[in-house]
Amino acid sequence: MLPNDISIYHEKQSKELCALHALNNLFQSKEAFKQMELDAICFSLSPNNYINPHRSILGLGNYDVNVIIAALQNKGYNAIWFDKRKDPKSLKLDQIFGFVMNIPSECRLGFLWLPLKRRHWISIKNIGGTYFNLDSKLSHPSQIGNESDLLNYFKDQLYINDNQLFIVVSKDNNNWISLDEN
């Protein structure tokens, strides 16, 4: 349950558009990105390919990390892969715009679970002093908690399942991680 004084934009899953939803949830606006814009990025990344390697063959989404990185760069942000061998405590949370994670996701056709392994994009953002998991597959945002809760969440999430974490910072921000390795 969300506190009454916090308003959170949360797009729900549609087609294979989890990357689009993760970006819009990260920017807290349905107008931040459109499917047409992400499709244009795919084309710009591979203009001469009949089958574009950066999205689903059916054109339903399933965008790869290159599309997310380019989309963020178009808005003045960088997505930086976080080396999970590092301690999340090295992150300077007050310098970070938000987070995008790529996690394994089971594939389903109606009520039938398929033995395919897929990937799913989610965003995590500080809203009103509290960190939220804005996964589009959730019925509503899931509260993670304060900074300490977030760091523990990342420790748990990066330890399991081949999850990947990307730090989203403004392009000119190089001060998002502590150089002290204790």
**Mind listing the pLDDT tens digit of every residue in the chain (182 residues)?**
555 567 899 999 888 889 999 999 999 999 999 999 998 897 887 777 777 767 766 666 678 898 999 999 999 999 999 998 899 999 999 999 999 998 877 665 556 655 556 688 999 999 999 999 999 999 999 999 999 999 999 999 988 768 899 999 999 988 898 876 54
Residue 11 is predicted with a pLDDT of 93
In a domain, 31, yes or no: yes
Task: Mark whether 18 is an active-site residue.
Answer: yes
Domain count of the chain?
1
In a domain, 179, yes or no: no
In a domain, 181, yes or no: no
**Rounded Cα distance, 139 and 135, in Å:** 9
In a domain, 69, yes or no: yes
In a domain, 182, yes or no: no
Edge-to-edge strand ranges of the sheet holding 142-145: 77-81, 164-170, 98-109, 112-127, 130-133, 142-145
Task: Mark whether 42 is an active-site residue.
Answer: no
**CATH code where residue 112 lies:** 3.90.70.40
In a domain, 176, yes or no: no
**Rounded Cα distance, 41 and 23, in Å:** 14
Among 10, 18, 21, 42, the active-site one is 18
The model's pTM: 0.86
Biggest alpha carbon–alpha carbon distance for the chain: 50
In a domain, 97, yes or no: yes
In a domain, 93, yes or no: yes
Among 10, 54, 120, 140, the active-site one is 120
Enclosing domain of residue 166: 18-170
